[in-house]
Amino acid sequence: MDQSDLFKPQILSVSELTDEIKTLLEGNFLDIKVEGEVSNASTSRAGHTYFTVKDEDAQLSCVIWRGVNQRLGIELEDGQQIIAGGDIQVYPPHGKYQLIVQSVEQAGKGALQEAFEKLKKELKEEGLFDDEHKQALPKFPFKIGVITSATGAAFHDIRDTLQRRWPVAEVLLHHASVQGVNAAPQLVKAINWFSQEQNVDLLIIGRGGGSLEDLWPFNEEAVARALFNCNIPTISAVGHEVDFSITDFVADARAATPTQAAILAAPDINEVRMFADDLTTRLHDIIEERTTEQKERIQQLVQSHALQVVQQKVANNHEKVNSLVDRIHHRREVHFMQKRNKFKELQHRLELQNPNTALEQGYSRVWQNDKWVRSVDEFDADKKATIEWKDGKTTIP
């Protein structure tokens, strides 16, 4: 070998160099976080999101695969300041590298906390947190509305807990995104839908825990005001024990977790049954006791002077009633006789007015031209006439 060959630079193929770079970058840039401004964000039909994060001097291509997209539940917009977390991956065919994103959060947590405290102060001064506006939760809700993600663990925790504790309740879910830029409008829409369209006894709104950025939709003023104006008793169940959101202060009640919200929302049916059984037994005992007391009191009255006085008063009143009945019967008889005599008098008068009465007494009537001739002036000697007696008629020329 020529000694000069030892000092010649190594010649690599493009593939070899790219593989070296790939090994170097992918081995040293795992689980990194990059802060920058989103640009050129787009989502393919397959559900993958492609975008670039940039600052004043550089830019980095990024991709969120569909499965991660569904888990994050966010929609990126150009101009957003974010912190993207993931792994660097080299794509040899294009000789490019990109960040395979596994997490996204809004940049500037200090600014979010400041905005949270500012809105909290404003709404508190306005009275949205005051106890006088809180509605009492129903003791026995039979229709419970839930606002959360249909695919999240929060709904399953609420539904399973209610099914175990209070299976008589109907659970009605309205899906809404619980993080990302579209979450707040969807939460407002869901609250208004329940308030205006559905006759539910109670409303639970919430999600599982997360960062301040993840929970931010529940700190939006529009969501807080929609919840304040809701005519249904509400429970806010956002995050875990240490997480607080604006909706926690506005809602009628706050639960530390979705599971705790379900426990707060409804009683345990087994405890209700035990209480009902105990109450039935107590009522039965009270009725038995009162019945026995009344029986004893009646027995005492039967043997007492007071009952004898009552019996004497009843006897006296019985005599008065009999006397009154006799007087009524007498007056009724007198009244009846008077009416009967008057009727007979009227009947006699009518008989006197009856033309047939004269015939019965031996008189006759003369008819001419089908008319009763009452005087000689009405009689026409040139015409036929009919004479009527009580026992027949005859016609004369």
What CATH number does residue 37 fall under?
A: 2.40.50.140
Q: What's the pTM value of the predicted model, to 2 decimals?
A: 0.51
Asked whether residue 193 is assigned to any structural domain, the reply reads yes
Residue ending a domain, among 63, 92, 107, is: 107
Question: 298 lies in a domain?
Answer: no
In a domain, 201, yes or no: yes
pLDDT(62) > 90 = yes
User: Are residues 116 and 240 located together in one domain of the fold?
Assistant: yes
Q: Which residues pair with 395 in a beta bridge?
A: 386
Distances 87 to 8, 81, 194, 244, 387 between C-alpha atoms, Å: 36, 19, 43, 32, 142
Question: 318 in a domain, yes or no?
Answer: no
Average pLDDT estimate for 54-69: 93
pLDDT at residue 353, as a whole number: 59
What's the pLDDT score for residue 354? 64
Instruction: Examine the fold and report which residue of 241, 270, 299 is the final residue of a domain before the chain moves on.
Output: 270
Higher pLDDT, 7 or 266: 266
As a whole number, mean pLDDT of residues 190-218 equals 91
By the 10 Å C-beta count (0-12 exposed, 13-18 middle, 19+ buried), 177 is classed as buried
Decide if 337 is inside a domain. no
The answer to whether residue 90 is domain-embedded is yes
When mean pLDDT is compared across 57-71, 180-194, 300-314, the lowest value belongs to: 300-314
Mean pLDDT of 201-229: 93
Domain boundary among 219, 241, 270: 270
Q: Are residues 264 and 132 in the same domain?
A: yes
What is the pLDDT, as a whole number, of residue 240? 65
Rounded (5°) CA angle 95-100-105: 140
Report whether 204 contacts 162 (CB < 8 A).
no
Query: Residues 233-244: pLDDT tens digits?
Result: 999 999 766 668
Within-domain flag for 24: yes
pLDDT tens, 381-396? 777 878 777 788 777 7
Q: Would 86 be classed as within a structural domain? A: yes
Total tally of structural domains belonging to the chain: 3
With pLDDT > 70 as the criterion, what percentage of the chain qualifies? 89
Residue 235 DSSP SS3: strand
Average pLDDT rounded to a whole number, residues 259-286: 91
Q: Which residues contact 19 (CB under 8 A, 6 or more apart)?
A: 92
Residues 223 and 370 in one domain: no
Across the chain, what does the average pLDDT equal? Answer: 86
130 lies in the same domain as 235:
yes
**Domain check: are 160 and 147 in the same one?**
yes
Q: Which domain holds residue 383?
A: 358-396
User: Do 97 and 117 have their domain in common?
Assistant: no
